[in-house]
Structure 1
Amino acid sequence: MTSGPATAASPWFVRPPSGAAHPARIFCFPFSGSGASAFSAWPAAIDGAEVCPVQFPGRESRMAEPHHGTYEHLADALAEALVPLLDRPFAFFGHCAGALPAFETVLRLADRGLPLPERLFVSGQPAPHRASRDRMLALTEAQLRVELESFLRGRGIEPRPDMVDMGLAVLLRDHAAAGAYRRTEPVALPCPVVVLHWRDDPDVHPDDLAAWRPYAESVDVRVVDGGHYDFMHAPDALLRALGSWR
């Protein structure tokens, strides 16, 4: 898979990153089945750091492009696209399965001797070597359809069949990538990690979140009020946590 340069016209960023307007950036990685629109309610900046939602191929504005296939391929292409934007301090935020390509991208930046994020924020996602515990990976296509319809209704959207069919196609490809992902043991990251546990999220066990601790010298596990998808509203507690690295 090829990627174009990360310029104002780059398909990787639905909000073209600004020039000198902000002294730092937060690159945001969406969860399975979603795209950059998961961050549409977020502010343009958090404590001076520009919010830069990442758009994966094969969805939303990139629906016509081939799916990335694996997290490893995704991270390879994104690391290349990010190069022109690593000219100032930055952080990564990944929610749920989006934390895994964020993690893999950090490793690729390190391998290439490129600038590294000052923080990797992991939200509601077990450590990579426990990623297979995600209950969604065990669901059938019919069960995933029900989950998707429930999610849309929870967002105040009536799930039309054509909308559900399109979303399910993306979700199934994303789940194939998640199911193929394997890390059997922790891998040391060259940056601090902040793990966010949503207090009302019944599907992510605290032990699976605490399993991030061997991944960096500094791993801070924090509890945030709310449920699994409440990050989409950019609640104040989350914004405070994300502003803590500046």
Structure 2
Amino acid sequence: MYPTQELSATAERWITYPSPAPAARTKLLCLPYAGGGASLYRSWPALLPGVEVAAVQMPGHESRLGEPSHDRIEPLVDALATAAAPHLDKPYAIFGHSLGARVGFELARELRRRCLPGPVMLFASACRAPHVPRMPHPPVHAMSDPALLRMLRQMQTVPPEVLDDPDLASVLLPVMRADLNIVNSYEYTDEPALPCPIRVFGGTGDPEVREDDLYGWQAHTTSSFAVRMLPGGHLMIRQRAREITQTVGQAMAGIGC
């Protein structure tokens, strides 16, 4: 068991509030893509009135740059579930983009195993269904920095302006190695479907995730399911935040949150 003070400090490192709204009736727990951080969701509180946005900051990312990054999903989800538990104080949904969607899915299952409150809805963006096989990326731990940079450009999963800046790239590459190893090493295990609705977003020009890969998410809910395609590539979340949050807000209101 964690001492109460230590647990509180751990939770504060993991869960950040861009604009705290304690009076909001619902909460949205947001997880970023590989290499990204909580700042991705800085603008979302203004786009989601009545919803408190809680953004996950993973070790090794942004404000936690000095901490070792996780490179496997199991210890990452275990630590995140412990940190998130004190924040499940009102009805909440989970939103994750790309790697964040996979982590969010496994987080929902881990919270269920711990008999903690589950999400009222799961939003998965730019991520194929967990059971759908994918071609793994080359072993990134053995890649040179130039080779990894070339691969990231081809994947279109990192903003080009970051890869073009040598200082930013040098900070990002170790984080991306760890995050991509989470993707490569992920092994789906079968469990009962989640009881909450699932809503999925995809980019019409995403070279990494095809529209057909998104419909597999329906197998992971016993409730309602829908897919919405938006213009853009794998990082369409950066340009389509308004459309995405509009759908998120309507969906959460629609289930009586």
Bucket of the pairwise TM-score, normalised by the shorter protein: 0.7 to 0.9
8 Å CA contact 1:6, 1:83 repeated in 2 = no
Give the TM-score taking structure 2 as reference length: 0.82
Superimposed CA distance per residue, residues 21-51 of structure 1 (whole angstroms, 9 cap, x where no aligned partner): 3111111111111111222333346141111
Partner of 1:5: helix, strand, or coil? helix
Give the TM-score taking structure 1 as reference length: 0.86
Q: Give the letter aligned to residue 80 of structure 2.
A: L
For residues 195 and 146 of structure 1, do their structure 2 counterparts lie closer, same or farther at Cα, with a shift above 3 Å needed?
same
Structure 1 moving runs of 4+ over 6 Å: none
Q: CA deviation at 1:185?
A: 5.0
* Uncovered stretches (5+) of structure 1, i.e. residues with no partner: none
Q: In structure 2, how many angstroms separate the alpha carbons of the residues matched to 1:64 and 1:222?
A: 37
Q: In structure 2, how many angstroms separate the alpha carbons of the residues matched to 1:32 and 1:131?
A: 19
Q: Give the letter aligned to residue 82 of structure 1.
A: A
Q: In structure 2, how many angstroms separate the alpha carbons of the residues matched to 1:63 and 1:147?
A: 23
> Which residue among 219, 224, 234 is the counterpart of 2:230?
224
More divergent stretch after superposition (13-22 vs 112-121)? 13-22
8 Å CA contact 1:28, 1:94 repeated in 2 = yes
Q: In structure 1, how many angstroms separate the alpha carbons of the residues matched to 2:213 and 2:187?
A: 15
Q: In structure 2, how many angstroms separate the alpha carbons of the residues matched to 1:194 and 1:138?
A: 30
More divergent stretch after superposition (158-167 vs 28-37)? 158-167
Name the structure 1 match of 2:105: 103
Superimposed CA distance per residue, residues 40-64 of structure 1 (whole angstroms, 9 cap, x where no aligned partner): 3333461411111100011211111
Name the structure 2 match of 1:238: 244
8 Å CA contact 2:149, 2:163 repeated in 1 = no
Name the structure 2 match of 1:177: 182
Q: How does 1:1-246 map to 2 (within 5 A)?
A: 4-6=6-8, 10-15=12-17, 18=20, 20-44=22-46, 46-130=48-132, 132-133=134-135, 137-138=137-138, 141=143, 142-146=146-150, 148=152, 151-153=158-160, 156=161, 159-183=164-188, 187-217=192-222, 218-243=224-249, 244-246=251-253
Identity across matched positions, percent = 35
8 Å CA contact 2:204, 2:233 repeated in 1 = yes
8 Å CA contact 1:44, 1:50 repeated in 2 = no
RMSD: 2.7
Q: CA deviation at 1:242?
A: 0.8
More divergent stretch after superposition (7-16 vs 81-90)? 7-16
For residues 131 and 231 of structure 1, do their structure 2 counterparts lie closer, same or farther at Cα, with a shift above 3 Å needed?
farther
| Count of matched residue positions in the alignment of Structure 1 and Structure 2 | 241
Q: CA deviation at 1:187?
A: 4.8
8 Å CA contact 1:91, 1:119 repeated in 2 = yes
Q: CA deviation at 1:130?
A: 2.2
More divergent stretch after superposition (174-183 vs 218-227)? 218-227
8 Å CA contact 1:10, 1:16 repeated in 2 = no
Q: CA deviation at 1:114?
A: 0.9
Q: In structure 1, how many angstroms separate the alpha carbons of the residues matched to 2:19 and 2:88?
A: 11
8 Å CA contact 1:43, 1:51 repeated in 2 = yes
